[in-house]
Amino acid sequence: MPHRYIKIGLTVVVLGVAFSGMLWSTLREGTEYFKNVDEVINEQHVWQGKRVQLHGYVVPGTWVQRPNTLDYKFKVQNNPARGTMPGGVVEASYTGLLPDTFKDEAEVVLKGSFGPNGFRVEKDGVMAKCPSKYEAASKSASSGS
């Protein structure tokens, strides 16, 4: 009888270790941090190699496309329009098609990682928020009340 309990106990331990290892490796690779530009600007070296979703706003006049390619470089910052002090600026690079909503001062979330030359956005990693067409109307309506 004790031999049977040892087999069952050993099987449970082996399955538990295998499941834990699989769970750890899956979560480790899939972990992404969501950070604003100002949260990472002074510690870019800390974030190098880690997957990050970087939230910011496109700095006007900074995005350029290399001729005859889909290579882009641009800068993002925190939102100065909301009364926050303009903080640091992160240089980003991306290869691919940009969304139609990607414009100067557009709110963006970039998926990628920091490297020695700034933030490298991964494939299909640019999400630009569509500016609300009702934003100006709601501001004028609230100021008239």
Same domain, 5 and 57: no
Q: How many whole angstroms separate alpha carbon 74 and alpha carbon 64?
A: 6
Answer yes or no: is 77 within a domain. Answer: yes
Q: Quick one: 67 and 107 in the same domain? A: yes
pLDDT at res. 138: 44
Looking at the structure, tell me whether residues 23 and 68 fall in a common domain: no
Whether the full predicted model's pTM is greater than 0.75, yes or no, is no
Say whether both 38 and 20 belong to one domain.
no
Question: Is 143 a member of any domain?
Answer: no
- Please state the separation of Cα 42 from the chain's center in Å: 17
In a domain, 144, yes or no: no
Of all helices (H) and strands (E), which one includes residue 34? strand 33-36
Q: Is residue 115 part of a domain?
A: yes
What CATH number corresponds to the domain at position 65? 2.40.50.140
76 shares a domain with 17 = no
Give the model confidence (pLDDT) of 67-83 as tens digits: 999 999 999 998 766 55
Number of independent structural domains in the chain: 2
Residues 9 and 55 in one domain: no
What is the model's pLDDT at position 34? 86
- Same domain, yes or no, for 38 and 64? yes
**Considering the domain boundaries, does residue 142 fall inside one?**
no
Q: Are residues 71 and 3 in the same domain?
A: no
| pLDDT tens-digit map of 48-67 | 888 899 999 999 999 899 99
Domain that holds residue 18: 1-27
Among the listed residues 53, 64, 57, the one whose alpha carbon sits nearest the alpha carbon of residue 122: 53
Q: Are residues 95 and 109 in the same domain?
A: yes
